[in-house]
Structure 1
Amino acid sequence: MLAALGVWVSLDNKASDPLAEVLDIASPLEISGLEPAKSGYLFTRMQAAETLFIINRERQLVPQLVENVEVSGDGLDWRMDVRDSVMFHDGTPLTAEVVATNLRRALARPGVLQNTPIDEIAVDASSVVISLREPFALLPAFLAHYSTLMLAPSSFNEAGDITAIVGTGAYQVNEVVPPLRIELSAFDDWWQGRANIEQVRYLAVPRGETRTMMSQSGDADLTLSLPPVATEQLASDPNINLQVVTIPRTRLLKLNTAKPFFDSAQERQALSLAINREALARVVMRNPDLAAEQLFPAAISGWSNRQLAPLEYDPQRARDLLNEAGWTLGDDGYLSRDDQRFEVTLRTYASWPDLPLLATAIQNQLAEVGIDLAISVGSYTEIPAGHQDGTLDLALITRSFSMVPDPLATVMEDYGPGGADWGAMNWVNDQAFGLIDQLSVSTDADARDAQLQQLTTLLHAELPTIPVVWSELAVAASKRLEGVYVDPYEQNYYLSDLRWVQE
């Protein structure tokens, strides 16, 4: 990581050129390539490329590259006009045919559109018409996902592979050097007006302490996703404005409910009762308010259910429930049932630095109720691999509910039939599956609210996954910058709104 920092300093020595008009951004997110499904989130957040819909600052899902959206009475046909006068960075116009081509490509490849009932994508003059096999109220949310971003035909080679990011956003991509760097400049003909800052440079810096040093030294003007310990260091820095917001992301335990240790709600409730969330949030996350009282934090409007009793810490009640489930404490201090020891392995990964720390603390807490928990820290890929081959006992993961800007999209995947790599595993609940199906087609606000309350209540009682702590997003901005806004849905950095402070 010092090498990464060295690259940064060699690219822009701010000490020798304090008036340089390059906005330097440091983030932990590496560039996996040019495919939207892999790295599209970076190009949309950097405002290099745009989607048909977007979440605005009021947390409303609104049209972006389309307008006059009409839905047929049976909910099967969606007609949307492509916005006039939108130009790609190569000077070609955004047309209905180009939109349809991009959507067809996204539908044919692995990504969120494969989870929709899209039957056909057609063009009618300046409109795109999407026909569905069945009603699907979430379509606009899926069309706000980064994997559906719009690219000019010049972005593709003859084989259909992406060779350049030629989008419609406020900034045009000049150079991409995976996995570390993106260079951009303001696009003169952006349909919403030219951005204020001329040049932007993005650098992926995985280590939190390195990003903190870059913020303190002034080598980064905007530093994203700072670790909790860094917020304490930077809060008193006179040259930095620090913003911290709660985001729709939860650290949780993913359980293999086919295992005899977790195959009943009673056992899962006992596991939950053995976890001291307040202590974890206070010591590891540096904020006791991040103790997850339920799966969805208050940042997720409509999904955070105020009627639910908060998840509690009660180790004695945990012991009682486990005893009722037939687990008895042996002389060695650990539980067993039918000659089977309560011995499981928790998988986690270090790309989120707090996860191994949380895992160690949870290991100690579960030992207090007789659970022998081993920890395996490896690649994040070991979680989906263990889900697919059935070898996973449990895992400590972080799960965002805003990748598609309606949490239902993630819930459908994670808690629907079959579960998901980052969701429930071998959990079957027909009532939950039915509620998810109803929500996916519901357009009546009152009915939707009632269905949401039932579903969140059921997930809270059944605990197919166990919430541990919620998450914050900490961003440090140089006081040379004004107009900084931290998007809790992590969809947009709003770079076009930034300005250099005039001295």
Structure 2
Amino acid sequence: MTGLTTGGVRLAGVLGLALAAMLPLRPAAAQDAVIVLSSAEAGVPNYDPIRGAILNTGAALIYDRLVEQDADQSFHPHLATSWESTSDGMAWTFKLRQGVKFTDGEPFNAQTIVWWIPKYKGTENEFMIDAIDHVEAVDDYTVRFVMKRPEPNLIYNLASTFMSIPSPKAFDAAGDSYGVTEAVGTGPYKLESFTVGQETVLVRNDDYAWGSDLSENQGPPHIGRLTLREIPDQSTAFLELKTGGVDMLLDLPTDYLSQLKSEPDIDFRTQPGFGTTYMPINTQAEPFTDIRVRQATALAIDQAAILKTVYNGIGTEAHQFLIASLPESKVDPKVEIRYDAAKANQILDEAGWVRGDDGIRVKDGKPLSVKLWTRAETEYKRIAEIVQAQLKAIGMDAAITVFDTSTIRDQYKKGEHQLVIATYGWNNADILDWCFSGKRLFYPNVAMWNDPKSEELNEVAMHQSRTGAEREANFRKYHEYLLSQFVFAPIYEPAQNVAFNKARLQVPGVIRGPQLSQQTIVDLKVAE
């Protein structure tokens, strides 16, 4: 999971011209490229897929996975060449690719998998392997997962970046520091350097010869050196793309798309959404311990106005938590959260919140004044400003505070937040567990939601679903309950926009995978 993100201020035209003059032009090199990571991937503290709570695209390039996922959510072989399960779902057998080596020279084989799966125990990511009782090595290149219970989501989990496979030798030798100065996988790139919050430099794995069938290029990447940069301000990132400082942006704000028409060297690719923008409500902070105040707050958010004003109508309104392509998003329309200012005002009236002369409501001598947190990227700060106005219309005074990416996560741990403009990137219903489980309070459960019935529904959905259809039904029920409790306000489901300098990069017309990652990056070429 890529974590929660929030947003910043666009630079004015004159300031933009001044910045352009200050930005250095990057010398062109035949086999290098610079990619700016999406805001959702900013602030990753390490490249440890087993213990990490957030990872970025670099992890998908350093490591491989047993299985890869395509944009249509189909699954394809990678380090596992095939798999099958028993009819009762209590055992899975995987055939492993032969001839694969980690970049430290260690072999990849069945013993790697026997070592790897138990390492997740006791970590935040243990839920991904919790259904596995143990792993048996049938032979050097065949493993059997013996299950505690059926897990219809197993193949999805195995395709996750969080189930990337590190070198056992390197991982054990580095201990808790693994992923900071050393990260060793079988992937198409090797880690050369990593500066937290700034950049990651990767170099080609020249021995790579086992790309998945989602990539046209099965061998080493065409680009020899790849720099993944973090640029917090989206205006600065776009300016660097225009002036040649970077070659690609993985997260182009929708409101920049119109400007591409006047830039002859810039092109873009658009994919369906990979998450939603929403506003978690701290259910343990007054006045939001009262479900009526949470409901009024959620109903005050005008999704259509935000879609039009911030995103120029590109993307879709969100009225629940999951992306529209997931069957678990097809909830009962009665529980969808939709803008209704009149009802919001009525609810606050009935709850005893009386409007003062200044329009702000008061109850028991206390004004309805709250904190609204956001991050310093353009679109999210604009959303915060619109939400602030929408809340004021129902008599709530929201004071905006802006944090950078890494700081806001630290601030969550203090539990002082009330409302937050946030986003996630994930294409599976288990994001509900990640964001609302009582086991994950503060972060990523920024809503601080800890409710017995919710925990029971979560447990059934996560651990008691025997088939895919059962899992969908259980998660839909869990999803509907969360919506009924107004623990967040849904806002927006974005499209994914990737922009690149076509004078520098050749990008396939179709991006394979749920987002631009290893499947397509190995096919990128430096333009001739």
**Normalised TM-score (structure 1):** 0.84
- Give the counterpart letter for 2:523 in structure 1: D
Q: 1:428 to 1:149 in 2, by over 3 A?
A: same
Q: 1:104 to 1:431 in 2, by over 3 A?
A: closer
In 2, the alpha carbon distance for the partners of 1:117 and 1:484 equals 39
Does structure 1 residue 258 correspond to structure 2 residue 284? yes
Does structure 1 residue 170 correspond to structure 2 residue 183? no
Q: 1:373 to 1:94 in 2, by over 3 A?
A: same
Does structure 1 residue 327 correspond to structure 2 residue 353? yes
Asked if 2 retains the 8 angstrom alpha-carbon contact of 1:482 and 1:500, the reply is no
Q: 1:35 aligns with which of 23, 48, 54?
A: 48
Please name the residue that 1:104 is paired with. 118
Asked if 2 retains the 8 angstrom alpha-carbon contact of 1:305 and 1:456, the reply is no
In 2, the alpha carbon distance for the partners of 1:413 and 1:274 equals 26
Please name the residue that 1:442 is paired with. 465
Q: 1:358 aligns with which of 376, 380, 383?
A: 383
Q: 1:165 to 1:452 in 2, by over 3 A?
A: closer
Q: 1:197 aligns with which of 216, 219, 222?
A: 222
Q: CA deviation at 1:204?
A: 0.8
Q: 1:263 to 1:359 in 2, by over 3 A?
A: same
Q: CA deviation at 1:466?
A: 1.1
Please name the residue that 2:297 is paired with. 271
Q: Deviations over 1:370-429 (max 9, x none)?
A: 112222223556666666554332322222334xxx232x21232334564233423426
Asked if 2 retains the 8 angstrom alpha-carbon contact of 1:383 and 1:422, the reply is no
- Report sequence identity in percent: 22
Q: 1:7 to 1:96 in 2, by over 3 A?
A: farther
In 2, the alpha carbon distance for the partners of 1:255 and 1:329 equals 22
Does structure 1 residue 375 correspond to structure 2 residue 387? no
Please name the residue that 1:148 is paired with. 163
Q: 1:7 to 1:113 in 2, by over 3 A?
A: farther
Q: CA deviation at 1:239?
A: 1.7
Q: 1:184 aligns with which of 181, 184, 203?
A: 203
Q: Deviations over 1:62-81 (max 9, x none)?
A: 44212443445654444323
Q: 1:430 aligns with which of 432, 437, 453?
A: 453
Asked if 1 retains the 8 angstrom alpha-carbon contact of 2:150 and 2:466, the reply is no
Please name the residue that 1:137 is paired with. 152
Q: CA deviation at 1:444?
A: 3.1
Identify the range of structure 1 (53-62 vs 301-310) with the bigger mean alpha-carbon deviation: 301-310
Identify the range of structure 1 (228-237 vs 484-493) with the bigger mean alpha-carbon deviation: 484-493
Q: 1:61 to 1:367 in 2, by over 3 A?
A: same
In 1, the alpha carbon distance for the partners of 2:240 and 2:303 equals 32
Q: CA deviation at 1:140?
A: 2.9
Q: 1:97 to 1:448 in 2, by over 3 A?
A: closer
Asked if 2 retains the 8 angstrom alpha-carbon contact of 1:71 and 1:79, the reply is yes
Q: Deviations over 1:79-115 (max 9, x none)?
A: 3232223233345431111233233334354435577
Q: CA deviation at 1:209?
A: 2.4
- Give the counterpart letter for 1:407 in structure 2: A
In 2, the alpha carbon distance for the partners of 1:171 and 1:387 equals 34
Does structure 1 residue 284 correspond to structure 2 residue 310? yes
Q: Secondary structure, in 3 states, of the residue corresponding to 1:361?
A: helix
Asked if 2 retains the 8 angstrom alpha-carbon contact of 1:383 and 1:395, the reply is no
- Gaps (5+ residues) in structure 1? none
Asked if 1 retains the 8 angstrom alpha-carbon contact of 2:362 and 2:368, the reply is yes
In 2, the alpha carbon distance for the partners of 1:426 and 1:172 equals 40
Q: 1:354 to 1:385 in 2, by over 3 A?
A: same
Q: CA deviation at 1:13?
A: 1.0
Does structure 1 residue 459 correspond to structure 2 residue 482? yes
Q: Secondary structure, in 3 states, of the residue corresponding to 2:121?
A: helix
Between the two structures, name the one with larger relative contact order (CA 8 Å, sep ≥ 6).
2
Please name the residue that 1:474 is paired with. 497
- Give the counterpart letter for 2:189 in structure 1: Y
In 2, the alpha carbon distance for the partners of 1:267 and 1:430 equals 20
Please name the residue that 1:407 is paired with. 429
In 2, the alpha carbon distance for the partners of 1:382 and 1:496 equals 33
Q: Secondary structure, in 3 states, of the residue corresponding to 2:288?
A: coil
Q: 1:337 to 1:132 in 2, by over 3 A?
A: farther
Asked if 1 retains the 8 angstrom alpha-carbon contact of 2:187 and 2:208, the reply is no
Identify the range of structure 1 (183-192 vs 354-363) with the bigger mean alpha-carbon deviation: 183-192
Q: 1:135 to 1:266 in 2, by over 3 A?
A: same
In 2, the alpha carbon distance for the partners of 1:488 and 1:41 equals 14
In 1, the alpha carbon distance for the partners of 2:228 and 2:21 equals 11
Asked if 1 retains the 8 angstrom alpha-carbon contact of 2:341 and 2:394, the reply is yes
Q: Secondary structure, in 3 states, of the residue corresponding to 1:494?
A: helix
Q: 1:153 to 1:116 in 2, by over 3 A?
A: closer
- Give the counterpart letter for 1:413 in structure 2: W
Does structure 1 residue 22 correspond to structure 2 residue 22? no
Asked if 2 retains the 8 angstrom alpha-carbon contact of 1:482 and 1:501, the reply is no
- Give the counterpart letter for 1:165 in structure 2: A
In 2, the alpha carbon distance for the partners of 1:418 and 1:196 equals 40
